[in-house]
Amino acid sequence: MKVTTNYEYNFNDSLNRIDEILNTTSTFEELEEIPSSDRLTYDNGFYLNCYAIFIDIRQSSKLPTKYNRPTLAKIYKAFISEITAIFQSYEDCKEINIVGDSVWAVFNSKKKNDVLNVFSAAYTSNSLVRTLNYKMSKKGIEPIEIGIGIAKGRALMIQAGYKGSGIKDIVWMGDVVNKASKMCSKANKIVSENLVITDSVFIDLNGYGNGKDNYQSFFKKINDFYVSDIIRIDLEDWLNKQIKYFFV
């Protein structure tokens, strides 16, 4: 988002913009998949199905009491940069947002196997943070804990900002975003596991994986959601080798 501060505020202009927005007949097209953001204008929007995934740091409010600002900045920058890198590696990831210590994204859900990408992003992130903790421990920094939440549902995609100023952003509204955030808030807090998914995401995982190691088998049900601490094997193999050599 481009941010500028050299405009003098004009109340009459505000009144005109408000009237223009409220009087506009907006069109909200129903789509099967997430479109290019280039198709968005201030007068339209898209209503679509998608997956939303949230990842944030647990008890982050306590970190400033433990570390000075340079160390705190390193923790946040390392966490945010690598979670973002993981999300960006998936073609089905269409939008990434950073809010404080949270990184969240939306993924396509047009095909049934689209669930594999958002699921892979979740367990890759889980292992990545374990690797980050190992790296930080060598610098005398205590490990961080995270929560991960995934939901599937409908979302409204709109462009918002200050028309004519160059300041604009994509805003995602709808139950799926709220649900993913709520699942994330349970992970490693209400439950001990790092990953929490909704029932609809669990259903989509049916049929994937191998034999007894099908993906659904890694989860257990608690109330109306499912929890897991699944990790990525190749990242864990690397980490275990480093730990072994470090402590020899």
**pLDDT at 209 > cutoff 90:** no
Residue 52 gets which letter from DSSP?
E
> Which pLDDT tens digit goes with each residue over 161-179?
776 666 678 889 889 999 9
> Exposure pattern of 93-125 as b/e (b: 16+ CB <10 Å)?
bbbebeeebbbbbbbbbeeeebbbbbbebbbbb
| Residue 248 pLDDT level (bands cut at 50, 70, 90) | very low
- Stretch 54-78: mean pLDDT, rounded? 91
Mean pLDDT (the chain) is 90
DSSP state of 164: T
Buried b (16+ CB within 10 A) or exposed e, 174-184: bebbebbbebb
166: left (phi over 0), alpha (psi -120 to 50) or beta: left
Which of 59-63, 83-87, 165-169, 236-240 is the least confident region? 165-169
Contact between 68 and 114 under an 8 Å Cβ cutoff? The reply is no
Which of 110-124, 166-180, 222-236 shows the lowest mean pLDDT across its residues? Answer: 166-180
Q: Count CB atoms within 10 A of the CB of residue 33.
A: 15
- Looking at residue 6, what is its pLDDT? 62
Tens digit of pLDDT for each residue in 3-58?
Answer: 555 667 888 988 888 888 888 777 788 988 899 888 888 888 899 999 999 999 99
Report field, pTM of the whole predicted structure over 0.85: yes
Residue 222 has pLDDT above 70, yes or no: yes
In the predicted model, what is the mean pLDDT of residues 221-241?
A: 95
Strands of the chain, DSSP E: 27-31, 44-57, 93-99, 102-108, 146-162, 167-173, 195-198, 209-210, 213-214, 220-222, 225-228
Output the pLDDT for position 246.
60
Instruction: Calculate what percentage of the chain has a pLDDT beyond 90.
Output: 65
Q: What is the pLDDT of residue 64?
A: 86
Binning pLDDT at 50, 70 and 90, where does residue 155 land? Answer: very high
What is each CA distance from 43 to 36, 49, 164, in whole angstroms?
16, 21, 13
Query: At residue 2, does pLDDT exceed 80?
Result: no
